[in-house]
C-alpha cells in the first residue's frame, strides 16, 4: 500500500477534521500508528464488556436480547448492552425503469477485521452457485460498479446494495438478498521445511524411505490455525454431502481444560474463538477425517463456503475425496494424485523425524526425533505452557506428564499438558528442522493398518506416530494404529505438502 492510499483510507475513516489533521501528521511520521487507530472486534469488546473472554462477549452472543448478535452490533456501531432496533433495511428500488431488490445497512469504516458480504439468492433452497464469488464484497476489487451507493451524512455511513441482475419484472426474479458480516481472523500460515535426500534407505523396521522431495510442517497444527479453518467452513458442522457425519469440532475442544477453542452461537451461525494462552498449543480431539478435511481446505486455497453446495469443493474433495460413502468406512480414503496438502505417510513422517544423512556412525536414523540416540529430557513449562530451556543444547520433549500448567486459568494446574509448539527450541528439532515430533501430541499419519479386534465396517485404522504429553517415557519410535474416527486428548496432526 502506498503512503498516499494509507492516508486517504485514514481520512475517509475519520469524522472530526481537526483530529484528522493531527493524525494525518502522525501518520506521515509513523505509518504503524495508522493501524493502531483502527478498531478490532477484540478492542471493541474490551470497551463494552467486563471481560473479553466471558461468554457474553463472544461474537455470536446477544446479551441485550435485541436479536442482534454482538458481531453485528460491532459492525453496525450499536450498543451491545442496550436493545436496538435493527438498522438493516431492505426493499425494492427502481433503476433504469426496472425494479430490483436492495439491502441497506450502516457500515463502520474504522474496523480492520470486518467484511460485509451480500449474497443474492433465487430461492431459499437454492442457496448458491458454488462457481460464483460473493455477489458483493466490501472493499473487494470484485465489487460491481454501480451497485453500491454510500451515504456519508450518517455516522457510520449507510451503504445501499442493489441487486445487479434479475429485475422483479419478467419470468425469473430474485428471491433474496442477504447480508453476511464476517470477522476476518488474522491470516494463519503454516511454516514448512523441505525434506530432500531423495532415495534414502529405510530404517531397520522398514520405515522412512522416500524417493521424492516433499515439505512438512515445522509444527503441529495449532488452535489458532484450526480455529481459522472452523470459522471458514464450520458454521453448521453437522452437514456432509455424503459419508460420515463426523463433526470437525468435538465439544471436548471447548469443554476440556486442555482443549483450546470455544464455539459460540447456534448451528448455522457458529463462530469459534481461541481460548487465552491456547493459540500456540496443538489442537487436540481431532479425527483422521478432520485432519484430511483441513488438508482439503488448504489444497483448495482456504475457501470460505457460503452454502452447502460449496462444501463439496472446499472440505469434501481436493487432496482426499469424501464423496463416496464407501471410502470413509474402508481403506478407500487415499491421497489423490496431485494433492498439494496432505497428512504425511508413515514413511514421510519417519524420515522427517529420524533420518539424518550426516549422522556419522551406524544407522542414519536417530532413535529419537531430537536428533539423538539418548532419550530426551521430559520438558517443564512456564505458566503459559512454554517449554523452559536450560541450555540451548538440551534435548527436550513434552511427554510423561512433565509439562504442567493451568491451561483453563481456574487456579488449578493440570498435571501434564500441552506446550507451545516448537518451544523446545532449535536444539530439540530433527535434522530437517521439524519440532515436537517426539512429544506434545502424537500425530496422525496417512498409513493404514487393519485392526483385527474391530468390526468389519470399522476395521481400518491409521498409524499414529510420536509420543505425547500423556504417554510414558522410554517409548522410542512410538507407533500405534487407531480407528480414524477417534478423537482424543493426546493426539493432533501436522500437514505435509508437495507444491506443483
Site residues, Ca ion (CB under 5 A): 62, 64, 66, 68, 78, 84, 406, 408, 410, 412, 436, 440-441, 466
Which H/E stretch holds residue 119?
A: strand 114-121
Nearer to Ca ion, 68 or 233 (CB): 68
Min CB(14)–Ca ion separation in Å: 25
C-alpha grid cell, residue 479: 507407533
Nearer to Ca ion, 311 or 386 (CB): 386
Q: For residue 441, how far is the Cα from the chain centroid?
A: 18
Min CB(178)–Ca ion separation in Å: 19
DSSP state of 258: T
Nearer to Ca ion, 328 or 440 (CB): 440
Min CB(283)–Ca ion separation in Å: 12
**437 φ/ψ angles, rounded to the nearest 5 degrees:** -75, -30
Nearer to Ca ion, 66 or 356 (CB): 66
Closest to 231 (Cα-Cα) out of 265, 191, 199, 198: 265
CA of 350: how far to CAs of 66, 207, 425, 493, in Å?
55, 7, 20, 14
Min CB(203)–Ca ion separation in Å: 18
Instruction: Classify residue 199 as exposed, middle or buried by CB count within 10 Å of its CB (0-12, 13-18, 19+).
Output: exposed
Contact between 295 and 320 (Cβ < 8 Å): yes
Instruction: Classify residue 278 as exposed, middle or buried by CB count within 10 Å of its CB (0-12, 13-18, 19+).
Output: buried
Min CB(352)–Ca ion separation in Å: 11
Rg, Å, the chain Cα set: 26
C-alpha grid cell, residue 195: 525434506
For the CA atoms of 446, 449, 451, 452, the dihedral, rounded to the nearest 10 degrees, stands at 160
Min CB(78)–Ca ion separation in Å: 5
Min CB(439)–Ca ion separation in Å: 6
Nearer to Ca ion, 324 or 382 (CB): 382
Nearer to Ca ion, 319 or 424 (CB): 424
Nearer to Ca ion, 69 or 128 (CB): 69
Amino acid at each position: 500500500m502506498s503512503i498516499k492510499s494509507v492516508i486517504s483510507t485514514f481520512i475517509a475513516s475519520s469524522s472530526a477534521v481537526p483530529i484528522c489533521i493531527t493524525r494525518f501528521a502522525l501518520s506521515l511520521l509513523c505509518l504503524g500508528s495508522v493501524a493502531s487507530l483502527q478498531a478490532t472486534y477484540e478492542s471493541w469488546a474490551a470497551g463494552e464488556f467486563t471481560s473479553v473472554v466471558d461468554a457474553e462477549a463472544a461474537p455470536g452472543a446477544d446479551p441485550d436480547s435485541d436479536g442482534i448478535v454482538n458481531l453485528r452490533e460491532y459492525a453496525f456501531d450499536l450498543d451491545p448492552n442496550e436493545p436496538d432496533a435493527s438498522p438493516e433495511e431492505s426493499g425494492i428500488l427502481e433503476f433504469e425503469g426496472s425494479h430490483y431488490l436492495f439491502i441497506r445497512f450502516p457500515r463502520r469504516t474504522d474496523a480492520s477485521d470486518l467484511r460485509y458480504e451480500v449474497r443474492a439468492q433465487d430461492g431459499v433452497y437454492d442457496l448458491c452457485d458454488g462457481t460464483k464469488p460473493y455477489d458483493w464484497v466490501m472493499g473487494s476489487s470484485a465489487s460491481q460498479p454501480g451497485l453500491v451507493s454510500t451515504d456519508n451524512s450518517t455516522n457510520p455511513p449507510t451503504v445501499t446494495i442493489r441487486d445487479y441482475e434479475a429485475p422483479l419484472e419478467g419470468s425469473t426474479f430474485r428471491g433474496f438478498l442477504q447480508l453476511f458480516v464476517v470477522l476476518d481472523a488474522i491470516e494463519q500460515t503454516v511454516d514448512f521445511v523441505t525434506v530432500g535426500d531423495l532415495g534414502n534407505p529405510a530404517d531397520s523396521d522398514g520405515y522412512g524411505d522416500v524417493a521424492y522431495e516433499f515439505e512438512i510442517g515445522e509444527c503441529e497444527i495449532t488452535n489458532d490455525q484450526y480455529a481459522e479453518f472452523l470459522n471458514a467452513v464450520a458454521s453448521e458442522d453437522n452437514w456432509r454431502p455424503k459419508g460420515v457425519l463426523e463433526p470437525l469440532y468435538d465439544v471436548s475442544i471447548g469443554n476440556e481444560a486442555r482443549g483450546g477453542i470455544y464455539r459460540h452461537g447456534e448451528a448455522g451461525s457458529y463462530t469459534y474463538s481461541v481460548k487465552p494462552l491456547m493459540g500456540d498449543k496443538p489442537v487436540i480431539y481431532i479425527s483422521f477425517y478432520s485432519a484430511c478435511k483441513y488438508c482439503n481446505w488448504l489444497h483448495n486455497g482456504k475457501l470460505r463456503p457460503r452454502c452447502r453446495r460449496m462444501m463439496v469443493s472446499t472440505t469434501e474433495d481436493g487432496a482426499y475425496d469424501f464423496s463416496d460413502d464407501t471410502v470413509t468406512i474402508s481403506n478407500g480414503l487415499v491421497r489423490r494424485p496431485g494433492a498439494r496438502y496432505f497428512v504425511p505417510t508413515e514413511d514421510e513422517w519417519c524420515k522427517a523425524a529420524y533420518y539424518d544423512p550426516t549422522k556419522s556412525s551406524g544407522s542414519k536414523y536417530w532413535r529419537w526425533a531430537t536428533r539423538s540416540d539418548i532419550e530426551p529430557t521430559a520438558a517443564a513449562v512456564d505458566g503459559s505452557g512454554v517449554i523452559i530451556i536450560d541450555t540451548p543444547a538440551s534435548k527436550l520433549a513434552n511427554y510423561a506428564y512433565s509439562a504442567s500448567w493451568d491451561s483453563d486459568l481456574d487456579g488449578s494446574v493440570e498435571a501434564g499438558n500441552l506446550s507451545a509448539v516448537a518451544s523446545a527450541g532449535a536444539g530439540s528439532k530433527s535434522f530437517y528442522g521439524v519440532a515436537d515430533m517426539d512429544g506434545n501430541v502424537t500425530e496422525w499419519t496417512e498409513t493404514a493398518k487393519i485392526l483385527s479386534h474391530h468390526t468389519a465396517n470399522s476395521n481400518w485404522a491409521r498409524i499414529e506416530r510420536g509420543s505425547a504429553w500423556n504417554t510414558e517415557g522410554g517409548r522410542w519410535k512410538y507407533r500405534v494404529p487407531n480407528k480414524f474416527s477417534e478423537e482424543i486428548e493426546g493426539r493432533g496432526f501436522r500437514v505435509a505438502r508437495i507444491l506443483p
